[in-house]
Structure 1
Amino acid sequence: MTWSHWQVPPFTTSVFFVLGVLTLYWVSYNWIISWTHTHQIKVADDTINTWYGLAYMIVFVFGIQSLIVGQTNAWEFMNFELIAITFCAYFLNVRISYFLLFPIVLVYMVFDGSLGYWQSWAHAITLMIFFVLLNLAHTRSEGFRRPIVFYFLTVIPFGGLLWFWMKLKFNFSWFTFGEEWLYLIIFEILLYIYVTMLTNDAELRLQLAKFASHDALTKTGNFAAYTEDIERLFQQSSREGRALSMMMFDIDHFKAVNDTYGHSVGDTVLREVAATVQTVVAENDPHVKFYRTGGEEFNLLFPGYDVAATKTIVDQIFTAINHLEIQSGDDVIRLSVSVGVSAITTDDKAPMDFYNRVDRNLYYSKRHGRMQITVA
């Protein structure tokens, strides 16, 4: 972080460099998450966050230190490395057991040629404690009105102590010590602001995406979500020959419920039906997808299921709803549903062909007495 390597003011260089490294991380991480979701790879986002974040920061720290390893100014990039550690431990909340953290630090000391210095050992021990306390600060700050307090109570004193060990090892001036510590504090402030802005923006986008793809009343997927998923699953089924089935149902005489008891009771009926179906799905297979695609019409997609495999879940949903009772004042509303079920076939040239066949099965149930399941 000096003129000798960058030929520009250290502060300006550091800001742009650190922001560039962090931006590259966010872009690449989001690409990986999107890729795993698109290919339905069953890896939790938190797992990817932990291992990719750790690998990314290890490569960064070792890579940048390789530029000056073994030189008399081998301390110059330490603020970059501390920012990487803060980002990894606090903002990504990567948790590493002591059995893994110590070998990583030891390998770094071997790489840096610092095993023979007691100051380096003191620095290494302080660094490991710093990492653990950053994890703790992240946990303690959750739900706290001013989480930044926990953050700075950790990064400021430990930053000073870590630079103190470097001063003893390299014997640079107290002025340099103070300058580097001040730079670190400024970088930590900028890091906090930057990541907070990114996090808030990501949360807003998630909320907007959820609003756009979920039915506000029943908390199920909406027609837009159904359309997106059926396109993807249909293409996957056509390409890979994977089974795909659909269940479609609607509530019998729902218009009469609205006309007799009012739309607020009708909304209650829709919510109760949706909650009942979601409970059945969660107990059987959470990978089954559930949508409200019309007023009282609902769809379920069964990736990997042929018609016979759907029978258990379809029957449970059918039975549960047909035994559902909704209280409205002194009256009890007893519900029933009509159901259509079918699986994708080689004759289906588009998702709408598949949808129309299931829809015909549903209306066959309705025209022939309701409260029944038609499979074809």
Structure 2
Amino acid sequence: MRLDQLVQMINVDFFNINTVIIALITIGLITLMTILTYFLEQRALRLRQRRFTILAHGYEAASLVVSMILLRSICVTIDPENMLSWSYATAQLTVLLFGLYTMRNLAVEIINILMPIFFYGQGMYLGKGAHFVATFIIMTVLLSGTIIYFSRHRSSVMGSQWRYLALQLVYGGTWWFIIWSVHRFNLAYTINVLIIFIVYMWIIRFFVTRISALITKFTQLDQRVNYDELTGVRNRANFDTIKNEVFDAYKKRPNAAVTMAMFDIDHFKKFNDTYGHMTGDAVLKHVATHFETALFKQTTHGQLFRYGGEEFVVIFRGIPAEQARTTITAIRDDLQKETVDFNGQKLRVTVSFGISQLQPSDVTFDDWFNRVDHYLYLSKEAGRNRITVEGTTLVLS
């Protein structure tokens, strides 16, 4: 093929109104995917609930699938006779690879691995025939390995221009062979298309890295505003925000159980006075980490807050008081089995609790909160290391 013919083919395929439309739609889809991913990741970071994180990843994967379906529908509409065109293939690859960059979840990786099979099957369905099956299988395996490698070394790949370039070459090159096995083009032409794809994705990387930096900046700001610097759990400011959400949601759905547990560390002042404030900080971190980790493993959706000093609050959504007591008791029992090892000291830590379920008679949030606080006071008055549930104080071993 002469050079002028090659240039003419590229101009026809990449510089026409249909290609411009597909490119603009691709950019729009990428923008929407970015906004959705940022919103979901921030929400998952705030809630720190495994169930919501899994749901968020499902939504991200669904947005990628929907984007691919929309691209296909648009291409069918504007160019029904050329569904395997390079402009359509480039748009597909761009969306797939962008999703791999920005959506850090297993479902998106699986979609990327399965897409070659779908593409090859689509080619056979459209009458292209099952050509070069061995080439397709080898390239699909290589592409899958590349995706798995990227998922495990994301930061190093995105942080290095040369590794990023290598990823583009392997990802785009394997896809080129997969597409070529169904929709064969002249070798020189496909190499030029691959180069165009790499340049295009390099531009995408420019925006991805800056979007990632912006998201990181907002995440760090969110951490400083909503999370306690010493213990790493949610702080008083975040509690003030969440409490209003919880109370308003309950007023709309009064049949949904919501329970609050408040606890503080028994004789905490003694730790500071006897062993020093560094030891007191170590005790606070130990208790906060223990409860945060244990609540994360539970399916009770408990959210932990450091209310102030040695006082903490847990809000259980959809959980009645008795079930919350069972969860709290199990976590408390495990806490007592552990000791805080600090500067050669093995310190035993106990906590006291007040637990109450939100009631229809609670006109304001303070009605509920004050009742829980009073129950905590009853536990301490009864000798500490106690749990008071709805006014009944339990002596624990």
TM range (shorter): 0.7 to 0.9
Report 1:12-27 matches (<5 A): 18-27=26-35
Equivalent residue, structure 2, for 1:64: 75
What's the CA shift string for 1:142-176, capped at 9, x where partnerless?
3546341441331454466578779955x7x95x6
Change (3 A) 1:253 1:135: same
Total equivalences in the alignment = 368
Deviation at 1:116, TM superposition (A): 5.3
Q: Give the TM-score normalised by the residue count of structure 2.
A: 0.74
Deviation at 1:23, TM superposition (A): 0.7
What's the CA shift string for 1:304-351, capped at 9, x where partnerless?
222222222233344455565445657654443332121111121222
Contact 1:252–1:338, Cα closer than 8 Å, also in 2: yes
Give, in whole Å, the separation in 2 of the partners of 1:306 and 1:229.
18
Deviation at 1:243, TM superposition (A): 0.9
What's the CA shift string for 1:24-81, capped at 9, x where partnerless?
222345567789999x975433333233312322321442354223269944544323
> Residue 294 of structure 1: which of 292, 295, 308 is its match?
308
What's the CA shift string for 1:124-148, capped at 9, x where partnerless?
7787567535424523643546341
Give, in whole Å, the separation in 2 of the partners of 1:356 and 1:302.
17
Give, in whole Å, the separation in 2 of the partners of 1:336 and 1:33.
35
> Residue 168 of structure 2: which of 152, 156, 161 is its match?
152
User: How much identity, in percent, do the aligned residues show?
Assistant: 23
Which secondary structure state, in structure 2, belongs to the residue aligned with residue 293 of structure 1? strand
The reply to whether residue 81 of structure 1 matches residue 89 of structure 2 is: no
Give, in whole Å, the separation in 2 of the partners of 1:162 and 1:99.
12
Change (3 A) 1:358 1:160: closer
Name the Cα RMSD after superposition: 4.1
Contact 2:261–2:355, Cα closer than 8 Å, also in 1: yes
Paired residue type of 1:232: E
Which secondary structure state, in structure 2, belongs to the residue aligned with residue 44 of structure 1? helix
Equivalent residue, structure 2, for 1:231: 244
Paired residue type of 2:380: K
The reply to whether residue 222 of structure 1 matches residue 235 of structure 2 is: yes
Contact 2:176–2:194, Cα closer than 8 Å, also in 1: yes
Paired residue type of 1:185: I
Gap regions ≥5 residues in structure 2: 1-9, 392-397
Deviation at 1:291, TM superposition (A): 1.5
Equivalent residue, structure 1, for 2:273: 259
Equivalent residue, structure 2, for 1:102: 117
Contact 1:159–1:181, Cα closer than 8 Å, also in 2: no
The reply to whether residue 53 of structure 1 matches residue 64 of structure 2 is: yes
Deviation at 1:189, TM superposition (A): 1.1
- Deviating above 6 A after TM superposition, structure 1's stretches of 4 or more consecutive aligned residues are 3-8, 12-15, 32-38, 97-100, 121-127, 162-167
Give, in whole Å, the separation in 1 of the partners of 2:344 and 2:66.
63
Deviation at 1:102, TM superposition (A): 2.5
Paired residue type of 1:214: Y
Paired residue type of 1:95: I
Change (3 A) 1:2 1:227: farther
Report 1:27-42 matches (<5 A): 27-30=35-38, 42=52
Paired residue type of 1:238: K
Paired residue type of 1:298: F
Paired residue type of 2:218: R
Gap regions ≥5 residues in structure 1: none
Give, in whole Å, the separation in 2 of the partners of 1:55 and 1:374.
51
Paired residue type of 1:234: F
Deviation at 1:239, TM superposition (A): 1.7
Change (3 A) 1:211 1:150: farther
Report 1:60-209 matches (<5 A): 60-70=71-81, 74-88=85-99, 92=103, 93-96=108-111, 101-107=116-122, 110=125, 113-115=126-128, 128=140, 131-139=143-151, 141-142=153-154, 144=156, 146=160, 147-155=163-171, 157-158=173-174, 161=177, 169=185, 179-209=192-222
Give, in whole Å, the separation in 2 of the partners of 1:14 and 1:206.
33
